[in-house]
Structure 1
Amino acid sequence: MSDASLRVGFVVSHARSSSDEALLELARQLVRDVQPRLEEATRRPWQFEFGEPIRLSSNERRHSGDFVGEASLRVVEGSFDLVIILTDVALISRRERIVFGLVSPLARTVVLSTDRLRGREGAGHMPLASPAIRWNAAALLLHLIGQGLGADPDPAPSGALAPFKYDPDRVSAPAFHEPAALERLAAGFLEREHTASGPLHDLWIHGCAALRHPRLISNALGRNRAPLLPLRMPGLATAAVAPVFILVFSAEFWDAGLGMTDATAWAYAAISILVAACYLCFAQKLFLPRKESRVIPEHLAVANVVIFSSMLLAVLGLFAMVALLSLAIELWVFPSDLISTWPTLDEQQVGFLDLLRISVFISTVGVTTGALAGGLQRRRVLRHMALFQAEV
């Protein structure tokens, strides 16, 4: 067995009306049940450390993004390789489904809910101390940890990585059928930390981390459909679209758009998109926190690359949406013969490329106002990103 151990932080997050005692006891029992299975499969010790319980502000169901910030902070503060959050409130996925649990290889976070395991309130609502809850929760936790390590699903119905199904007659924690693969994945899961010496070196570390994990990043960007994120954030889209209906009918704006070159318009657009994405990431504090400014964990660098890339693609998608809207207004709403009467044109013919340049100019201003006045909330933005890449 390898001497290098995997350090896991275990946090209980209970509803406002419930006590943390029963949930803490279940968490300790889960560690006793799953630790031997994990050590047997990975051939290295697993250390579990319990943090202070978190009391939620209400009993309402929670989305995955509600746990990202707290979990990432626990990962960094404790130098953990993984954080497990056990909660008794209903857990909602990005697709608005009530699920048993979620896992994020990016944020190194596993969230397990006992809500579905216990059943509905009433006669079928089982106590947390019941054997069915204990063993099904253990099976679920092993399944989520395996996915968090990056293991492929197991088609065998009895393995820990098989599709999870609640079994009231379950009496033991399942084993991993391919321990060799899990051993290799666990070795690569050990946290790697980098020391930054300045902003440029910080950027270099993030770039190198992105090159080492292209598949993880591309899968996350594909799942969250980053260019379509503005459609799920109406405040951002509304703040960007609103100026269009004023600017597209403004003579001064047409004069400025017709007077600039194509290169100027596109350069202004590219710079504005990049600045807007940076502003949203820093102003809304979207990047996952780190304990010290000089220490950057590898997984945190990868997660922040996904967050920035998602916001950059989201702003780019917003730019395209606003540009198409303004171009449509120019082509089919704005009177075409009205432009030719303006004295500032000096008999200049306005063609399609001129209209396209003006729409780019208008969209650039719209993107800027959207970033400044979008009214985004960190929790809502993280909720829409695919940081949690698997759900059960």
Structure 2
Amino acid sequence: MKVDQLVGGDRYAVGVMRMEVEGRDSSAFENIVAKAVVALDQAFCREPRLTVRSMAFAGPHLTPGAGNYAPLDFLEIGLAEKIERDLPFLLIVTEVDLSSSSLAYTLALPSQLTNIAILSTRRLSPEFWGDRPDHDVAARRLTALMLHSFGHLVDLSHEVDRDNVMYSLEGVEDLDRMIELSDRQLDTIARVLPIEAREKSTRTHRVRFIARTLLGDAPAIMRAIRRANPLRLLSKMPTMLATALSVIVVLLFGAETWDVATAVSIPQIALFSVMCLAAAAFVLYRAFAFDALLSRDRRITQSSIVTTATTILCLLLTLLAMFVFFGALMYVVIISVFPHPLMESWPTNGAATTTLDHLKLSLFLAAMGVLAGSLGGRSDSRDLVRGVLFITEDT
């Protein structure tokens, strides 16, 4: 079944924003995008709920790194424009190469959490590969790439059929065949489109609106958290881990630290740990999250609430995983490395020899490590961390 056999109900806008950076061949770029927009509009012509809105964003001043541009720079611009232009979905098309953390190059980076996809036309033309220029071929490939990226925004999974628009493409030439959607995919789009659009907004009753959004979009938030994977996110923050471990080691060999084991209660340690986790999550959120944005008429949007909530929960779960890891590690170190006589004589408030004493000391060290690690974690790569949080995949 072809793409143009979609059917539907309410209307949702898919914005296509042309974002030219270097301006080397503006006419060719505009021509390719214009043709692709027409083809995308035709692909949606049997779906009354989907409309295509074409627009341009002139002159973003971005700096390339190692020849490529960071897609998250485009995403940050797109977040503001998506809210201001009231768009449920936004496809940003640029003419420059996009950097990738795992591939030699990337054609598109969809972000289901924000409903924004960044696409590059740089390698779509046969001219790039040494053949004759062909804007029609580039436009057809861009159309397929748009449909593929939009499929990710509405939670379609990859397919093994090379003719399907959701085929996990390996090279640019794969886009030439990717023109079809199955009946099952069309049913999925019809079912999830109102949910994935997250287009609601308000200027009043914000607390109630936030509560309703968090409850209604809880499955989408949980799905985004599973995709980001707190353990995977933790692996992208080596500076945070190193800082935390350094502070823990210093504290562990301080006699005063052992007084904590005998002087405080479990409720006090629990409260202290919660406060450290909350403070650390706030520090990392300010470092890595995109700011929650309001439109100029002060509307708060459903998508911004979902993005903010997912980011906070991802960071909090990452810190919780680090807290559990260091707590368990310190408990093992305490009972296996430190001799019993030292546990009796080192603390000034009495011996720290019981299992409960060791547990309290382990939790205290883990909490201090998390707090100190969050301060060091601000030096970790923003692009890597944000990539895990916000990017669905490298295409």
Q: What interval of TM-score do these two structures reach, taking the shorter chain for normalisation?
A: 0.7 to 0.9
1:31 aligns with 2:37: yes
RMSD of Structure 2 on Structure 1 (CA) = 3.2
Work out whether residues 110 and 152 of structure 2, in 8 Å CA contact, stay in contact via their aligned partners in 1: yes
Work out whether residues 91 and 117 of structure 2, in 8 Å CA contact, stay in contact via their aligned partners in 1: yes
Cα offset, 1:35, TM superposition? 0.8
Cα distance change on mapping 1:277 and 1:47 into 2, 3 Å: same
Pick one of 353, 358, 371 that aligns with 2:356: 353
Name the stretch that deviates more: 255-264 or 336-345.
336-345
Pick one of 255, 263, 266 that aligns with 2:267: 263
Partner secondary structure for residue 242 of structure 1: helix
Alignment partner, residue 232 of structure 1: 236
Work out whether residues 9 and 80 of structure 1, in 8 Å CA contact, stay in contact via their aligned partners in 2: no
Cα distance between partner residues in 2 of 1:169 and 1:356: 57
Alignment partner, residue 81 of structure 1: 88
1:104 aligns with 2:89: no
Work out whether residues 198 and 303 of structure 2, in 8 Å CA contact, stay in contact via their aligned partners in 1: no
Cα distance between partner residues in 1 of 2:374 and 2:79: 25
Partner secondary structure for residue 19 of structure 2: strand
Cα distance change on mapping 1:206 and 1:374 into 2, 3 Å: same
Instruction: Spell out, residue by residue over 1:80-106, the C-alpha distance to the aligned partner (whole angstroms, 9 max, x if none).
Output: 222212233444555446333222222
Cα distance between partner residues in 2 of 1:256 and 1:168: 62
- For 2:254, the aligned partner's letter is S
Work out whether residues 99 and 116 of structure 1, in 8 Å CA contact, stay in contact via their aligned partners in 2: no
Cα distance change on mapping 1:363 and 1:21 into 2, 3 Å: farther
Cα offset, 1:273, TM superposition? 0.6
Cα distance change on mapping 1:107 and 1:169 into 2, 3 Å: closer
Instruction: Spell out, residue by residue over 1:52-85, the C-alpha distance to the aligned partner (whole angstroms, 9 max, x if none).
Output: 2435312633455443322211111222222212
Cα offset, 1:250, TM superposition? 0.8
Work out whether residues 16 and 93 of structure 2, in 8 Å CA contact, stay in contact via their aligned partners in 1: no
Cα offset, 1:175, TM superposition? 5.4
Cα distance between partner residues in 1 of 2:114 and 2:97: 21
Alignment partner, residue 46 of structure 2: 40
* Count of residue correspondences: 382
Alignment partner, residue 248 of structure 1: 252
Structure 2 residue runs of 5 or longer lacking an equivalent are: 1-7
Cα offset, 1:142, TM superposition? 1.7
Matches within 5 A, 1:52-63: 52-58=58-64, 60-62=67-69
Partner secondary structure for residue 99 of structure 1: coil
Work out whether residues 283 and 374 of structure 2, in 8 Å CA contact, stay in contact via their aligned partners in 1: yes
Work out whether residues 143 and 161 of structure 1, in 8 Å CA contact, stay in contact via their aligned partners in 2: yes
Cα offset, 1:31, TM superposition? 0.7
Cα offset, 1:235, TM superposition? 2.1
Instruction: Spell out, residue by residue over 1:138-162, the C-alpha distance to the aligned partner (whole angstroms, 9 max, x if none).
Output: 1121222233233455666544445
Alignment partner, residue 134 of structure 1: 139
Aligned residues with identical type, % of pairs:
19
Cα offset, 1:316, TM superposition? 1.0
Pick one of 138, 148, 156 that aligns with 2:153: 148
Cα distance change on mapping 1:323 and 1:64 into 2, 3 Å: farther
Pick one of 194, 208, 216 that aligns with 2:212: 208
Give the TM-score of the pair, scaled to structure 2. 0.83
- For 1:302, the aligned partner's letter is V
Cα distance between partner residues in 2 of 1:336 and 1:196: 62
Pick one of 1, 22, 34 that aligns with 2:28: 22
Structure 1 residue runs of 5 or longer lacking an equivalent are: none
Alignment partner, residue 192 of structure 1: 200
1:280 aligns with 2:284: yes
Work out whether residues 106 and 300 of structure 1, in 8 Å CA contact, stay in contact via their aligned partners in 2: no
